[in-house]
Amino acid sequence: MTELSERRRERRARQVAPRQLAAQISYTQPRHELLDTNGIRRLHDAAMRVLREFGVDFYDEECRAIFADHGALVKGETVFLDEELVMRAVARAPRQFTQLARNPAHHVVIGADKVTFAPVYGPPFVQDLDGVRRDATLADFQNFVKLAYLSPWMHHSGGTVVEPMDEPVATRHLDMVLSHILYSDKAFMGSVTSGPNAADSVTMAEIVFGAAAIREHPALISLINVSSPRRYDDRMLAALKVYARARQGLLITPFILTGAMGPASIAGSLAQLIAEALAGIALVQLIEPGCPVIFGSFLSTMDLQSGALTMGTPEAQLGLYCAAQMARHYGLPFRSGGAFSSAKLPDAQAGYESALSMLPTLQAGTHFVLHAAGWLDNGLAAGYAKFMLDCELLGMLHTWVKGVDLSDEALAFDAMAEVPPGGHYLGTGHTMRHFRDAFYRAELFDYTSSEQWELNGAQDSYARASAKARQLLASYEPPPLDPAIAANLHAFVAERKAAIAREPRDF
């Protein structure tokens, strides 16, 4: 009896134990490619022509001077680049790199055959656990960091998971970076809202990892958006320079709403996007050869009837496949995709749009997937329940990406030998070896009979996801952090806040 109850205890424990972070998934399936060699050449040539004939604006004198020093033609704020210069610089970028996490088990490989999932970025609003849309706060920020930390399917803590509107603009970046470090041990992103904010992010990373360590492997990846069409703004460039000089990772992403910020065609928008991304990547490599960079693509469509933004549309996915292929062609790690949706709550639209965005993201071989969970309302809101449901999808995709195992064990002849025609496999030795993890088991999707579902309270997935988020947040415990590092961080943040308070500023 004692033995039995002990076993029972063991099994129950297994049931409730939090799942460990799943290993970063590796692509084993062939990539879905839409371009043949001629297609690649056409897009490349078009991009080179954009750079040569139209150029890209850089709202930063020093950046323009760097280009000019390397032989680019600069007229006013516009930099015209020839193929030789761009491709020579781009060739210096590493094909893959490792980003450090506080917990070494959570370091992430960016590039190669690996996928990294990171949470939603930027929303000023949340769709909270009561379904209310309201301003995001620092508490929400920390909650999303916690949920990402607790999800076995989320490899990264992200950046501005929500915009903490209750904190002063001038010091928000300090609270955000600090929260990533205190509440998670996964890798995170730096602030890009100004050069000094970027420098603060670097200092905090140095406090945690050591200055030498982060020059060897970046501790930060930061999001530099191109202000399409063909324009890099002063803030982004100020941040880019700081991070490049510190050899921190840069995620260079043109964001094109096709039809408004790029031509109303996928090919034309791609040509522009490639040109814009390569121009920024070249700049990074001219500043700091070998600095880790990611070729980003955010291509979405605009409803040209109403002028509204549309997400998860089929054209965006076609563009994604091609952009991924071009990044591969240039030997660069690739960022795109996300659980995109225009829906305001995690309803059917949200589910369809997000699934329709995520599957192509993986089919294309994307390496870094920002916005992999939580995105609602065209990026204006982060949804708690949506975050949980998206994580469920990420879990499924972990299995999906692995493809099919064709080993002898998987071919399972022994099981077939055991089962006569018309028999069943539920008790074979093979099944006994694999039943626990043979198939992905969704926690938030319902597989019960309709009667049982009624008896369980007739909840939809939205309600189940909200309950799960509540439960996780209630049970959350922070990962350990060296008290000396924590003290240094707090001291730095306090010192910077005091200094910033003394600086003259508009608001």
Partner 1 sequence: MSLKELSDDDLWLQMQDDLYDGQKDEVVEETKEALARGHTPQQVLSEGLVAGMDIVGADFRDGILFVPEVLMSANAMKAGMEILRPLLVETGAPRIGKMVIGTVKGDIHDIGKNLVAMMMEGAGFEVINLGVNNDAQKFIDAIREHQPEIIGMSALLTTTMPYMKVVIQALKDEGLRDDVYVMVGGAPVTESFGQAVGADAYARDAAVAVEMAKAYMARRRGEGVAA
Interface residue list for partner 1 (CB under 8 A):
124-125, 163, 165, 169, 172, 193, 227, 231, 233, 235, 257, 260-261, 302, 304-307, 378, 380, 506-507
Output 207 or 238, the one with its CB closest to ligand B12: 238
- Relative to beta strand 78-80, strand 96-99 is unpaired
Shortest Å, Cβ 367 to ligand B12: 19
Nearest approach, Cβ of residue 144 and partner 1 (Å): 16
Helices of type H across 408-482? 408-411, 413-418, 429-434, 450-455, 461-475
Give whole-number Cα distances, 421 to 418, 424, 425, in Å.
10, 9, 11
d(CA 292, CA 270): 23
**Residue linked to tokens 């009979």:** 449
CB of 304 to partner 1, least distance (A): 5
**CB of 307 or CB of 480, closer to partner 1:** 307
Neighbouring CB atoms inside 10 A of 18's CB total: 11
Q: How far is the CB of 301 from ligand B12 (least distance, A)?
A: 11
- Which C-beta is closer to ligand B12: that of 124 or that of 263? 124
Question: What is the rounded CA–CA span in Å between residue 399 and residue 401?
Answer: 6
Of residues 296 and 395, the one with the C-beta less far from ligand B12: 296
Task: Give the one entry of ligand B12, partner 1, none that residue 318 binds, where binding means its C-beta sits below a cut-off of 5 to 8 angstroms depending on kind.
Answer: none
Q: 3-state DSSP: the chain helix, strand, coil percent, rounded to 5?
A: 50, 15, 35
507 binds, among ligand B12, partner 1, none (CB under 5 to 8 A by kind): partner 1
Which residue minimizes CB distance to ligand B12? Answer: 122
Q: How far is the CB of 165 from ligand B12 (least distance, A)?
A: 8
CB of 437 to partner 1, least distance (A): 43
Q: Which is nearer to partner 1, 171 or 184 (CB)?
A: 171
Q: Which does 137 bind (CB under 5 to 8 A by kind): ligand B12, partner 1, none?
A: none
Among partner 1, ligand B12, none, what binds residue 401 when CB lies within 5 to 8 Å by partner kind?
Answer: none
The entry of ligand B12, partner 1, none near residue 374 (CB within 5 to 8 angstroms by kind) is: none
DSSP-derived secondary structure for 194-251: -HHHHHHHHHHHHHHH-HHHHHHS-SEEEEEEE-SSSEE-HHHHHHHHHHHHTT-EEE
Minimum Å gap between C-beta 449 and ligand B12 is: 40
Residue 450: what residue type? S
Report the partner that residue 304 touches, choosing among partner 1, ligand B12, none (CB closer than 5 to 8 A by kind). partner 1
Which residues, in sequence order, are CB contacts of 254 under 8 Å at separation 6+?
Answer: 225, 226, 228, 272, 273, 276, 277, 296, 297, 298
172 binds, among ligand B12, partner 1, none (CB under 5 to 8 A by kind): partner 1
Query: 73: which strand partners?
Result: 80
192 binds, among ligand B12, partner 1, none (CB under 5 to 8 A by kind): ligand B12
Question: What is residue 173's DSSP assignment?
Answer: H
Query: Considering beta carbons, is residue 121 or 462 the nearer one to partner 1?
Result: 121
246 binds, among partner 1, ligand B12, none (CB under 5 to 8 A by kind): none
Our CB check for partner 1 shows the closer of 306 and 407 to be 306
- Residue 383 C-beta: closest distance to ligand B12, Å: 12
Structure tokens at 233: 């703004």
* Cβ-based nearer residue to partner 1, 257 or 322: 257
- Kindly state the tokens that stand for 61: 């004198």
156 touches 117 (CB < 8 A)? yes
- Which structure tokens are listed for 238? 């100020």
Q: How far is the CB of 262 from ligand B12 (least distance, A)?
A: 10
Nearest to 102 by CA among 173, 18, 21: 21
Max CA-CA distance within the chain?
A: 85
The binding site for ligand B12 (CB under 6 A) comprises 121-124, 160, 163, 192, 223, 225, 227-228, 233, 235-236, 255, 257, 261, 307, 309, 378-380
Query: H helices within 331-447, ranges in order?
Result: 348-363, 384-402, 408-411, 413-418, 429-434
Q: How far is the CB of 375 from ligand B12 (least distance, A)?
A: 8
Q: Which is nearer to partner 1, 159 or 360 (CB)?
A: 159
The option from ligand B12, partner 1, none interacting with 450 (CB < 5 to 8 A, set by class) reads none
Measuring CA to CA, which residue among 314, 326, 335 is closest to residue 272? 326
Q: Which does 255 bind (CB under 5 to 8 A by kind): ligand B12, partner 1, none?
A: ligand B12
Minimum CB separation of residue 456 from ligand B12 in Å reads 35
**What DSSP designation does 114 have?**
B
Cβ atoms of 242 and 206 closer than 8 Å: no
Question: Within 10 Å of residue 320's Cβ, how many Cβ atoms?
Answer: 27
